[in-house]
Amino acid sequence: MGDRPRLPLLEAFIYETLRYSSFVPITIPHATTDDVELEGFHIPKGTVVFINQWSVNHDRSKWPDPQRFDPARFLDAQQRLDRDQAGSVMIFSAGQRRCIGDQLSKLQLFLFTAILLQQCSFHANPAEHLTMDCIHGLALKPQPFTITALAMCIESLLKGGTAHLQNHAFPPRFRS
C-alpha cells in the first residue's frame, strides 16, 4: 500500500472506471419518513426515492464529454490525483444509508488492480467484437467476453504458454 501515493494514474483509472461504467446505476430504493420540500418539489411522506447514480456520473455540467473514458480527468496539473474530483464520483450512494464498505472497496480495487497489472498482461480477443452493452440488474454486468491473460511468472514456467481467462466464469476457468 506504500506505493499508492506514487500510482496516481492507477487511482485515476479506477475512479474513471467507476464513473464511466456506473455499474450500480441506481441505488436501493428508500421511502421518505416525512413530507419534504426539495428545490421547489413537494415529496409527500412515504414516497419511494432512489438516486440515479449513472445520471450524476454523466452530468455534462460536471463531467466534460462524459461518454469519453478519460482517467486524466482525475489528475491535477501536477499529475496528482485530484481528490475533490474523485470524491464527486457517485457509486456508493449518499446520505445516511450510504454504503459502509466504500473505503474497503476502494482499497481492494486498488490492490487487486495493481497486483494484476504488475503480474499479468491482458489482451483482447481479436475474434470478438467489444461492446459496452451490458446485462442489466441491480448491478450492470458486462456481456460475456474472453481475454488472454499472461502471467509473468507462469509465462516463464510454461515457456510462453498462454492462459485464456473467461470473465463470466467464477472461479475463473483457464484454457491453454
Q: Name the residues that contact ligand HEM, by CB under 6 A.
A: 24, 27-28, 91-93, 97-101, 104-105
For residues 40 and 95, which CB has a smaller minimum distance to ligand HEM in the complex? 95
Least Å distance between CB 113 and ligand HEM? Answer: 12
Output the residue with the shortest Cβ distance to ligand HEM.
101
For residues 44 and 95, which CB has a smaller minimum distance to ligand HEM in the complex? 95
For residues 46 and 161, which CB has a smaller minimum distance to ligand HEM in the complex? 46
The beta strands (E) that lie in the chain are given as 30-31, 36-38, 41-43, 48-49, 120-124, 134-135, 141-142, 146-151, 163-166, 174-175
**Rg, Å, the chain Cα set:** 20
Least Å distance between CB 155 and ligand HEM? Answer: 30
- Grid coordinates standing for 121? 498482461
CB 69, CB 20: distance < 8 Å: yes
Query: Is 99 one of the annotated binding-site residues?
Result: yes
Least Å distance between CB 23 and ligand HEM? Answer: 7
CB 110, CB 11: distance < 8 Å: yes
**Among the listed residues 110, 79, 105, the one whose alpha carbon sits nearest the alpha carbon of residue 4:** 110
Which parts are annotated binding residues for heme?
99
Which parts are annotated binding residues?
99
